[in-house]
Copies of this chain bind each other. A is one copy, B any other.
Amino acid sequence: MGLVKTEIFTEQQNEIALFAKVFGHPARVAILQHLFKINACICGDLVQEIGLAQPTISQHLKELKQLGLIQGNVEGTSVCYCIHTENWIKMKKIMFQFLDQDSPEKDCC
């Protein structure tokens, strides 16, 4: 085990879980917040900013990129990472829909 049984869930449930999972690490939260703040960033900055080793940051960036939430453009020897605005908005809609379910008037029981 240690293996999620994705096949028994809906596509929507798996998608929500995938997005949530990538936000489930403070380093990735911090990376995204930094990218939003300065709106353009090279990986080196992030290593300074966050305080994890360069390979670790690189790995977190890869996960964010795989989900399409950020994009990276090579620029000389450095790489410029930034938010993929269009995909971010798509993700936001999906997550909002999940988080913003109507709360029942009062808790049961």
A8 touches B109 (CB 8 A): no
Q: Which residues of B contact A27 (CB under 8 A)?
A: 4-5, 9
Q: Which residues of B contact A22 (CB under 8 A)?
A: 20, 24
Q: Which residues of B contact A39 (CB under 8 A)?
A: 104, 108
> Complex Cα distance A47/B21, Å?
23
Q: Which residues of B contact A16 (CB under 8 A)?
A: 23, 26, 29
Q: Which residues of B contact A24 (CB under 8 A)?
A: 17-18, 20-24
Please tell me which one of the listed residues B6, B29, B103, B107 contacts residue A26 in the complex, with CB atoms under 8 A apart.
B6
Taking the closest CB of chain B, its distance from the CB of A12, in whole angstroms, is: 8
Closest 8 CB pairs of A and B: A21-B24, A20-B23, A40-B108, A9-B26, A82-B108, A73-B109, A20-B24, A17-B26
